Structure 1
Amino acid sequence: MDEIKSSKLLSKSELQLWLVLFMCPKLGIVALKRLELLLPNLLGIFKLPDSELPVFKLTPMQISKLRNPDWHYIDRLMEWLDKHNVSVIPFNHEFYPTLLLNTSRPPVLLFTQGNIELLNQVQMAFVGSRNPTAYGCQVTKNLVAELVRLNLVITSGLAIGIDGIAHKAALSANGSTIAVLGSGLNNVYPKRHLSLAEQIVEQNGLLISEFLPDVPPIQFNFPKRNRIIAGLSNGTVVVEAAIKSGSLITAQSAVEEGRDVFAVPGSIYNALSEGCHHLIKQGAKLITCVDDITEEYSGLPQPVHYSMKKGLAGDKLLASVGHDTTPVDVIVQQSNMPLEQVLERLLSLEVEGLIMSVPGGYLKVCT
């Protein structure tokens, strides 16, 4: 990583000029891409005489900001970036993620902390409820664990709920994960995930933001974050989402960019399943196991299915446990087995990781 930073990322002077461009009002990605078509080097605009700048459709205010930036602020900003090992990647840099660049609204700059080599690796996004059920939590853990075994990077938004569970599951499985923030890197949100953010960087993961470091987590920023999550990823997995939620915004962004959307089904009586069921009706792929995801991508190794799971379809007691909480008396009734035998078998299945004990009974977690 040190070699990459010193040899291929921005020099100090280039970083200064990119920050000036970034902070110039109303000079977004569309305008900069237009300028790039007219100039051999985008940063060459700083070498042009004032008389030529209006030719490039720059307003007097923009010209003033380019000519007289707040150098004191920029110097302090660069000191902070250097102190915290933050790499800044412009949209036309070779390390800028290709999938994100090919979206309709790629960020002008990415402020990154951690392993930037993850940016162009195969990624799968996970989004969902901030208050998931035990079923949603376990499904996320299982899918993530199997995907990281196939060397996929898990990308999410560091939020409470499914986001955080996905990040933690990737780290627990010694996999790679990317967290996209809806705030600046000096304003990690939510605060309770500050230690998780630090752990992601420590375990060779990556934090990303398109905002200046001190930008707070205001509501308007999160749809922007969601488009980056979808834009970075080959596909987006939605686990438990209400019909009106940010997860569906991410899914919609993925659809607009021609990416795959996968939805985990749930109970028709659970409001958190309504968003997933809506996506399935709209054409998202219903998934019940990791194979449903990996079969969409050629070149990925297929998951290994361990022998202890063979013959599970014929396990009468396991078949009596649902993906929603199933009381013990219902399991006894449906399996038609004695209570003592049921309790013994439930313990065995829990040890094998096929079911889990939750308040009110058990739920199935195998796929």
Structure 2
Amino acid sequence: MPSPDVYWLALRRARGVGPRTCKLLIEKFGTPEKIFQLNSDEIAAAGVPRNTARSIVEFRDFEPLEKELCELPNIGARLVKWTDADYPSNLRQIADPPPFLFVRGPAQLTDGNCIAIVGARAASDIGRRMAQRLGLELAAKGFTVVSGLARGIDGDAHQGALDAHGKTLAVLGCGVDVIYPPEHRNLAEAIIAGGGGLISELPIGMQPLAENFPTRNRILSGLCLGVVIVEAAEKSGSLITARMALEQDRQVFAVPGSPLSGKTRGSNRLLKEGAKLVECVEDVIEELAPQMIGGGRPRMAERIPVAPSEKVPTPPTSNTSARPEVVWVTQSPEDANSLEGPVDSTTTILNNLKESDKLHVDSIIESSGLNAQTVLRLLLELELEGRVTQHPGKLFSLA
């Protein structure tokens, strides 16, 4: 007699059964185990094609699925089913949610304040820096950063979140035991070690086939309140993610790029079609704020006003709505006293760097007396301004 969880895998693996059919049957009958106790006429009466109903009734290949479930603890993974309390609430709302997810790592998926950052694999240097900066600042403000572990923009978004000691989720187009691209193995391990996780609806051992990625993208966008596109060509997988986000009633953002670059034609077109323009992290947060009122801001705690020099200037055009005069940063109470004004903090960091050829980021944090998130944010800003250079091993020096 198969275990109850095996029936979940079996229902999805039966010929002709996709996510929409799974959702229809589970809503009608409650559990896959009950569905497998029905005859084909009873299943077809729920609105399922008769051939599909027969394939469910005739399914007998349970033994390999038992072995697949037994393998999960060996790779540090678990099964999260559509009816489980820890199934992502955002994802449950879409039209074709996966009936279950394989989750590798300690990540709890109940956090609804997720934002996706995706873009080109062959990204420009400035695009990659922007992705890292957005990932870092969103994670520092309590958001979970979601991306696809791909080369380029995805990898840098994950790394930015990790640099802020935040949580990030990687949605894969392969099994959670398969790391693609292989050079991101260390990044995947860091995501797990940092409290995040690798997520997939695909079987254990499934290789990264091209046809898996478009369906993967619906999970990536479905988990999130919004999707930020950083560099996308005219024919890009990121544009598929943007389209799916719109179909799921998610907000789509895009970072503008040079019209002379083919890498940004797709993201620039999204802006023409109504995507929200992103130049800084506050562009994302302000747009999504109304959606977070019901569940609270991420990591609700004291709200510390940022010093005036950090505020985003109001655009001069008269038809643009004014931004708030004060930008708020979410910060835990125990860190409140360690947040200094950016001018004094920047000077402190630069003075520390003057005293050494290269300093490790941990040394800068310790000697400056600032919290880690503030130091990481200011180092990134100084690097983008050309005043600081980052070296391998998280070493920094004056440029």
Change (3 A) 1:305 1:281: same
Which residue, 2, 20, 29 being the options, matches 1:39? 29
The within-5 A match list for 1:52-201 is 57=50, 59-65=53-59, 68-71=60-63, 73-201=64-192
Tell me the CA shift for residue 135 of structure 1: 1.2
User: What amino acid is aligned across from residue 23 of structure 1 in structure 2?
Assistant: R
The within-5 A match list for 1:1-367 is 13-48=3-38, 57=50, 59-65=53-59, 68-71=60-63, 73-296=64-287, 297-298=289-290, 299=293, 300=297, 305-306=306-307, 352-356=382-386
Q: Which moved more, 1:79-88 or 1:46-55?
A: 46-55
Q: Which moved more, 1:277-286 or 1:77-86?
A: 77-86
CA distance in 2, matches of 1:28, 1:15: 17
Aligned residues: 313
CA distance in 1, matches of 2:65, 2:309: 59
Change (3 A) 1:243 1:20: same
SS of aligned partner of 2:122: coil
Tell me the CA shift for residue 275 of structure 1: 1.3
Q: Deviations over 1:159-213 (max 9, x none)?
A: 0000000001101110000000001112221111122111111111111001001
SS of aligned partner of 1:117: coil
Tell me the CA shift for residue 80 of structure 1: 1.0
Contact 1:150–1:303, Cα closer than 8 Å, also in 2: no
User: What amino acid is aligned across from residue 136 of structure 1 in structure 2?
Assistant: G
Contact 1:118–1:206, Cα closer than 8 Å, also in 2: no
Tell me the CA shift for residue 45 of structure 1: 2.7
Question: TM-score, length-normalised on structure 1?
Answer: 0.77
| Unpaired stretches in structure 2, ≥5 consecutive residues | 315-352, 355-377, 389-399
SS of aligned partner of 1:89: strand
Tell me the CA shift for residue 116 of structure 1: 3.6
Contact 1:22–1:109, Cα closer than 8 Å, also in 2: no
C-alpha RMSD of the superposition: 3.1
Q: Which moved more, 1:261-270 or 1:166-175?
A: 261-270
Contact 2:228–2:255, Cα closer than 8 Å, also in 1: yes
CA distance in 2, matches of 1:307, 1:141: 24
Contact 1:241–1:276, Cα closer than 8 Å, also in 2: yes
| Unpaired stretches in structure 1, ≥5 consecutive residues | 1-11, 314-346, 359-367
CA distance in 1, matches of 2:312, 2:205: 55
User: What amino acid is aligned across from residue 356 of structure 1 in structure 2?
Assistant: G
Change (3 A) 1:310 1:253: closer
Tell me the CA shift for residue 303 of structure 1: 8.2
Q: Deviations over 1:17-39 (max 9, x none)?
A: 22222222212233233323442
Contact 2:217–2:240, Cα closer than 8 Å, also in 1: yes
Identity %: 36
User: What amino acid is aligned across from residue 162 of structure 1 in structure 2?
Assistant: I
User: What amino acid is aligned across from residue 227 of structure 1 in structure 2?
Assistant: R
Change (3 A) 1:312 1:74: closer
